[in-house]
Amino acid sequence: MKNPTIKIQKTELLSDNWYILNKVTFDYQKKDDSWISQKREVYDRGNGAAILLYNKQQKTVILTRQFRLPTYLNGNDSGMMIEVCAGLLDEDNPEQCIIRETEEETGYRLTKVAKIMQTYMSPGAVTEILYLFVGAYDESMKVSEGGGVAHEQENIDVLEMPYEEAYAMIATGQIQDAKTIMLLQHAKINNLV
């Protein structure tokens, strides 16, 4: 931590049930050189990676659908979300992570992916950096049905659909996941599909 205008005074562990929730007390120097104290809860779930799988020849993409409790608790009547493949880094680097997650979730074994950006998705409360990738796929790369891994209690549907149909789902509200919207828009801007 290199910013001299921030002084961390205290960190209290509130929960480590699933990931880490801390309450941080810090001093912050304002532009007029005065100092103020603030308290914020910060959720640390580790960093993650996400990928848009695309097939330029077929003009298709592969997405996933799964239940997401936080969305269910905040207005998503079914709790189901259509998303790009994603996962936490655990001990892997971002590229290794997304190659592993792609095979687990979608059943496609990739050897090459391209990182397009990294982003803080909810910087006001969550420490996570999300590394975003794109990767070309074809039928020869399919090694299983996907769906996730049993020990993680994943229950993932694999969806292959025309890119334009997926892109239209942003406007209809069928796709509301930020990382998925960003990657679908990246594909549109860069004429990937």
d(CA 37, CA 56): 52
User: Three-state DSSP class for 100?
Assistant: helix
Q: Alpha carbon of 51 to those of 82, 95, 124, 126: distances in Å?
A: 13, 10, 24, 20
Q: What pLDDT score was predicted for residue 1? A: 67
Q: Is the dihedral of CA 119, 173, 154, 16 positive or negative?
A: positive
Judged against a pLDDT cut of 90, whether residue 170 lies above it is answered with yes
**Which amino acid does the sequence have at 156?**
I
Q: What pLDDT score was predicted for residue 66? A: 96
pLDDT tens for each residue of 67-96? 999 999 999 999 999 999 999 998 889 999
Task: Give the residue from 138, 117, 113, 115 showing the smallest Cα distance to 56.
Answer: 138
181 and 175 in contact (C-beta within 8 Å)?
yes
